[in-house]
């Protein structure tokens, strides 16, 4: 029977383990995601004792390989890409006994029939029928694979009382606009229930992203300040220090607004802005996230012109490395107007956040790689210190650093020692490494564990996806075919175009740039 998740438990709990025997079938077993992320994550779960007592991993791909050759490839991937590249031979041998390769074409019905035979040969009903299908393939193939799994009697719509379960894990992008996302979702739920579809945004698997909820709702000090009367504005920054590289063809179709803003940044926003859920049950948490997203004030062409900035990098230097301009990248139009940077101001029209601007930005070829949330508190009345002249009083701010150097920083004013009343902004620093040690599980470890355990908390629900696309589509419609202006270009290695600085300057604010790793 499908595991019933205790309403009081969720992916935020410690000590989780996937208990029921199951088989994970990875479609796209020859791809980068499998060798770089999925198999290393499963191996670390195995080493940490979090895999079921009985499990199998079946790689499904078109290339001609054997179980032994695929296992060797996966071992080499762990040694190259894993967070712990030193592989204990005994541990690996025990793990590798559970890895199998199945050759087949995604469009060939016979390949799915033979997959079913392979699963039955494991000689365990649970291994043959408790199945996680991980679609590490092009989204255009999701619907076809789900159809063929159903036709081969490997995927069933789960009903209460069923002795076995199947789940389908899909990677982003979930469509390229609202209509395509709606159609894709309709394909996915044709032969499975929504609860069986697990849409991955790897950002939600990051320990520090999960900690946003814990920080907010378990600390009365900050929860009482988490509203419009105490907070002046919020900034969310996700910066990348790389260009598009070999992904020029994909990026010409997607752009930063679709590639990053629609998923990663809006997901972080929903966790920062959501109301307290009635419990930690997956649906209660996801309900509140959707409410937050649906409360975002819709964008009109006029508000897009005033509240949204796009940008594109030209040649420059990042950390001493010379970078070419976007239009000089491979498979990029030399007159392209695709954005490699996006910044926007939005409002959440509910009781908690009315009138508080949220500034979101993301871009490529910026000075460093970092993700953080900065909460800027309102200033105190200046009357008390007015007679002291021009004191260096700074507004309080709280920064949640999601990566790298994960931590939480509180900025406040302190008196400089001496005989005069002189002040200086100071910072309290909580670092994950210093407090808990250097170990932080990879996002895919947590996400795969939750997929096996049947907890959907860290996965994105259908209405979350479609609500985010509705917001982003309005922005893209507002841009239309308008070409980039001179103020929307930025040199690689800088923090973005001048127009992005203007976006905050018109409100009397400035961007607070993440600081380099120490």
| pLDDT tens-digit readout, 97-118 | 999 999 999 999 999 999 999 9
Q: How far apart are CA 124 and CA 79, in angstroms?
A: 31
Does the pLDDT at position 438 exceed 70? Answer: no
Beta strand pairing status for 407-415 and 397-403? antiparallel
Please provide the distance, in angstroms rounded to a whole number, between the alpha carbons at the two ends of the chain.
49
- Candidates 455, 212, 497; CA nearest to 339 is 497
Does the pLDDT at position 33 exceed 80? Answer: yes
pLDDT mean over 301-327: 95
pTM of the model: 0.90
Residue 264 a catalytic site member: yes
Band (pLDDT 50/70/90 cuts) for residue 13 is very low
Residue 97 has φ and ψ, to the nearest 5°, of -60, -20
User: In order of start, what are the domains of the chain with their CATH numbers?
Assistant: 22-204 (3.40.50.720), 205-505 (3.30.360.10)
Tens of pLDDT, residue by residue over 165-218, are: 999 999 888 889 999 999 999 999 999 999 999 998 887 877 778 788 888 998
Tens of pLDDT, residue by residue over 141-153, are: 999 999 999 999 9
- SS3 state of residue 230: coil
Q: Which segments within 370-456 are labelled E, that is strand? A: 370-377, 397-403, 407-415, 423-431
pLDDT mean over 355-363: 97
Query: CB of 377 within 8 A of CB of 398?
Result: yes
The secondary structure element, H or E, covering residue 30 is none
Q: How far apart are CA 74 and CA 62, in angstroms?
A: 16
Q: How far apart are CA 114 and CA 456, in angstroms?
A: 30
- Candidates 448, 268, 467, 452; CA nearest to 370 is 268
Query: CB of 515 within 8 A of CB of 376?
Result: no
Burial of residue 307 (CB within 10 Å: 0-12, 13-18, 19+) is buried
Return the number of other C-beta atoms located less than 10 Å from residue 78's C-beta: 23
Residue with tokens 């498979």: 331
DSSP 168-202: EEEESP--SSHHHHHHHHHHHTSSS-GGGEEEE-G
Tens of pLDDT, residue by residue over 122-135, are: 989 999 999 999 99
Question: Between these two residues, 422 and 338, which has the higher pLDDT value?
Answer: 338
Q: Tell me what pLDDT residue 207 has.
A: 74
- Of these residues, 102, 191, 264, 509, which one is catalytic? 264
Chain centroid, CA 159 distance in Å:
30
Q: How far apart are CA 174 and CA 466, in angstroms?
A: 9
- SS3 state of residue 355: coil
Instruction: Report CA-CA distances (Å) from 374 to 43, 228, 244, 359.
Output: 35, 15, 27, 10
Reported residue count of the chain is: 518
């Amino acid at each position: 029977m499908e595991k019933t998740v205790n309403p009081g438990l969720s992916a935020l709990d410690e000590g989780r383990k996937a208990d029921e025997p199951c088989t994970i079938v990875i479609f796209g077993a020859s791809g980068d995601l499998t060798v770089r992320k999925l198999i290393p994550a499963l191996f670390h779960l195995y080493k940490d004792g979090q895999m079921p007592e009985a499990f199998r991993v079946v790689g499904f791909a078109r290339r001609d390989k054997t179980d032994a050759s695929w296992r060797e490839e996966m071992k080499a991937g762990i040694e190259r890409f894993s967070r712990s590249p030193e592989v204990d031979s005994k541990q690996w041998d025990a793990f590798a006994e559970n890895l199998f390769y199945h050759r087949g074409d995604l469009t060939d019905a016979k390949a799915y029939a033979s997959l079913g035979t392979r699963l039955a040969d494991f000689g365990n009903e649970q291994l043959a029928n408790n199945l996680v299908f991980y679609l590490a393939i092009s989204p255009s193939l999701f619907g076809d694979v789900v159809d063929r799994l159903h036709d081969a009697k490997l995927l069933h719509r789960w009903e209460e009382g069923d002795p076995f379960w199947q789940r389908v894990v899909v990677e982003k992008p979930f469509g390229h606009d609202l209509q395509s996302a709606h159609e894709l979702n309709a394909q996915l739920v044709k032969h499975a229930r929504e609860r069986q579809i697990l849409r991955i945004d790897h950002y939600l698997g990051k320990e520090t992203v999960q900690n946003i909820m814990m920080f907010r709702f378990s600390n009365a000090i900050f929860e009482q300040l988490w509203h419009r009367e105490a907070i002046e504005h919020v900034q969310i920054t996700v910066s990348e220090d790389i260009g598009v590289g070999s992904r020029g063809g994909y990026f010409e179709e997607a752009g930063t607004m679709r590639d990053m803003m629609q998923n990663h940044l809006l997901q972080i926003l929903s966790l920062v802005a959501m109301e307290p859920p009635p419990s930690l049950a997956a649906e209660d948490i996801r309900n509140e996230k959707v409410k937050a997203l649906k409360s975002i004030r819709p964008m009109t062409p006029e508000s897009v012109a005033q509240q949204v900035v796009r940008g594109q990098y030209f040649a420059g230097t990042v950390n001493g490395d010379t970078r070419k301009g976007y239009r000089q990248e491979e498979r990029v139009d030399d007159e392209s107007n695709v954005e490699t940077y996006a910044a926007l101001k939005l409002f959440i029209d509910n009781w908690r956040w009315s009138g508080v601007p949220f500034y979101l930005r993301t871009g490529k070829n910026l000075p460093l790689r970092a993700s953080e949330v900065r909460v800027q508190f309102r200033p105190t009345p200046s009357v008390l210190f007015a007679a002291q002249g021009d004191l260096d009083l700074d507004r309080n701010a709280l920064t949640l650093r999601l990566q790298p150097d994960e931590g939480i920083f509180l900025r406040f004013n302190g008196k400089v020692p001496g005989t005069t009343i002189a002040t200086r902004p100071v910072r309290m620093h909580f670092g994950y490494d210093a407090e808990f040690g250097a170990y932080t599980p990879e996002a895919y470890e947590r996400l795969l564990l939750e997929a096996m355990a049947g907890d959907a908390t860290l996965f994105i629900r259908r209405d979350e996806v479609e609500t985010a696309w509705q917001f982003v589509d309005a922005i893209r419609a507002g841009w239309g075919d308008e070409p980039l202006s001179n103020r929307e270009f930025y040199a690689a290695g800088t923090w973005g175009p001048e127009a992005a600085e203007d976006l905050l300057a018109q409100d009397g604010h400035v961007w607070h740039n993440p600081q380099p790793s120490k």
